[in-house]
Structure 1
């Protein structure tokens, strides 16, 4: 079933036609929905730092080396936006007609649906992804087609604009935290990078009962926000004695480091503050190379883990958690959808203290 009122309707996407290029408002016709598909009107879409990397077209690998996103299968034109909350306006299956006019959070990390990872709730690890806002058109648009209603998550009771952050910022943070839990009493967790994700991590950790949270950032303003979010102590990453100060403050009991920057310096700092048996989880994609003595990793039994977004099951867990615990106490700036390009530029320049959420009025 496809509601006829949406057949041949037009909508606008804010897309770029070449990496690093300007955004343009392009008009498209809504196609007839295929079986299982759902059409939503985008209400809110978060602006994520990975959008900046996708717009640039590469990840830095250190030195002059770059990982080309074109070679990874991301081909312009690209409509960014993977933190989407929208209202269902049309469905491809008659059994989904009860969803019309209801508002949902969208799980964006969609895979092929057939491989072992997809069949085991690890679609975010699928090697042939169809992720919304990356490989498929995203939420910097008036409307968005979702391949199945299974990717729609009920957010009743939550602030819809804030809930958009759960799809990536929240999920990525939650999945990374899952990898280090539980944290023993007396042990510390170090959060490196106190932008939007770092602040969410501090709030979630604090909500989970972790008391010794050490926050690290080069920005004094962000360190102050981290303290307000629940960090017990903050440190300047530019301080030449930062490692020694963190070791002293944590009594050499840093069980885990969550690195939301992910460059040479932050990874090195993270490894150097870990206690024996500690775990470094790298989330940030600023880029660089990891150089560290292998015998030290072995003799200290250190674990180094990369964490990329999260599963559909984890997002459902996170939404349930968010309905019980308010951890959205971070700065949020609302902007109109047509300010997408300016928002990407501001985020790339480091001029955003918390999060930007685009609103489709």
Structure 2
């Protein structure tokens, strides 16, 4: 079995070859056929998050230990199953739900494994899909994605369910009010496509990159605005007559969260998804006086991923831009994503 591992934070991933594991109990072994590269992989690779004020949160603070085989957006073909694995057969091709919890705590029991305090996430706490094989602990984490092309299905495990889980938090507001969507990267473009499948009113997209703004318009954005424009807030407010009820921030920098909170009308709702880093200061009287909601959203649950697949089976969304690259391009691909040279998603496929 070949895998690319983070052995030193910030250094190139190292190719490792070892015996292919065999499943026991309820485990399922899959041959990886598509593995998306996500911005969270950049954080895991670099080994830290910027939490503002010159401070960082390191991998060790989250209980992660090197080496790590990254890759949490995976599609694979079942090649072996443990004796207790039911409901899946050799030859099945499945999408892997990566946000696995302990399975026993109250959070897991209510279906929110992604919020478990003892996570077993694929590509972080468990070996991920930057490899030719991946082991999944139970077939319940394997989802039949129907006739969606595998390179489009793989990103649904993170960027898809992350966008969907965030958008659901606005409820029926999306039907009547335009959304301000900050960040037209992989998750942002996925969010635009999902909005169309949800038959929402649409989104005004805010991004610093002109190419990404163009991609957003091609994906159905109502309008786009340059984040760095000195009058960005005024431009956005003019597009909606000054009343902005819903903002989703797929960047999550100090500047974008401040922009999002500043834009909200009284009673407005900001959902922060991105992990770019930084900090903000908000006058505390504004929170009750403006009756604002500032809410975090972390990936999505297993039920939400199943809901998303069902939604896309009923109402197929436009396919997002995807670059398919060989597995051995993983290091260059990580650099390309970090440097902002990727529109949509890079998906690794077997060499």
TM-score range with shorter-chain normalisation? over 0.9
Match in the other structure for 1:31 = 21
Match in the other structure for 1:204 = 194
Q: Which 4+ residue blocks in structure 1 deviate beyond 3 angstroms?
A: 94-98
- Answer yes or no: is 1:18 the counterpart of 2:27: no
Which of residues 117, 124, 135 in structure 2 aligns to 1:134?
124
Q: Distance in 1 between matches of 2:238 and 2:16?
A: 55
Q: Report the CA distance shift for 1:94/1:73 in structure 2 as closer, same or farther (over 3 A).
A: closer
Conserved in 2, the CA contact under 8 Å of 1:200 and 1:327? no
Q: Distance in 2 between matches of 1:238 and 1:310?
A: 30
Shift of 1:273: 1.1
Shift of 1:14: 0.7
Shift of 1:297: 1.4
Match in the other structure for 2:157 = 167
Shift of 1:93: 2.1
CA offset digits 1:68-100 (Å, max 9, x no partner):
112211111010000000010111126638511
CA offset digits 1:13-66 (Å, max 9, x no partner):
111211112211101213342200000000000000000011000000123210
Q: Distance in 2 between matches of 1:13 and 1:153?
A: 23
Conserved in 2, the CA contact under 8 Å of 1:162 and 1:328? no
Q: Distance in 2 between matches of 1:126 and 1:212?
A: 32
Match in the other structure for 2:81 = 91
Q: Distance in 1 between matches of 2:262 and 2:85?
A: 55
Give the TM-score normalised by the residue count of structure 1: 0.94
Match in the other structure for 2:308 = 318
Match in the other structure for 1:80 = 70
Secondary structure of 1:70's aligned partner: helix
Match in the other structure for 1:101 = 91
Match in the other structure for 2:325 = 335
After TM superposition, the structure 1 stretch with the greater mean CA deviation from structure 2, 202-211 or 295-304, is 202-211
Secondary structure of 1:99's aligned partner: coil
Shift of 1:186: 4.8
Which of residues 155, 169, 174 in structure 2 aligns to 1:179?
169
Q: Which runs of 5 or more structure 2 residues have no equivalent in the other structure?
A: none
- Answer yes or no: is 1:58 the counterpart of 2:48: yes
User: How many aligned positions are there?
Assistant: 351
Give the TM-score normalised by the residue count of structure 2: 0.97
- Answer yes or no: is 1:195 the counterpart of 2:185: yes
Matches within 5 A, 1:261-340: 261-340=251-330
Q: CA RMSD in A?
A: 1.4
Conserved in 2, the CA contact under 8 Å of 1:188 and 1:253? no
After TM superposition, the structure 1 stretch with the greater mean CA deviation from structure 2, 12-21 or 309-318, is 12-21
- Answer yes or no: is 1:358 the counterpart of 2:345: no
CA offset digits 1:118-140 (Å, max 9, x no partner):
11101000001000001110000
Conserved in 2, the CA contact under 8 Å of 1:111 and 1:124? yes
Shift of 1:185: 5.4
Which of residues 116, 132, 139 in structure 2 aligns to 1:149?
139
Q: Which runs of 5 or more structure 1 residues have no equivalent in the other structure?
A: 1-10
Q: Report the CA distance shift for 1:179/1:186 in structure 2 as closer, same or farther (over 3 A).
A: closer
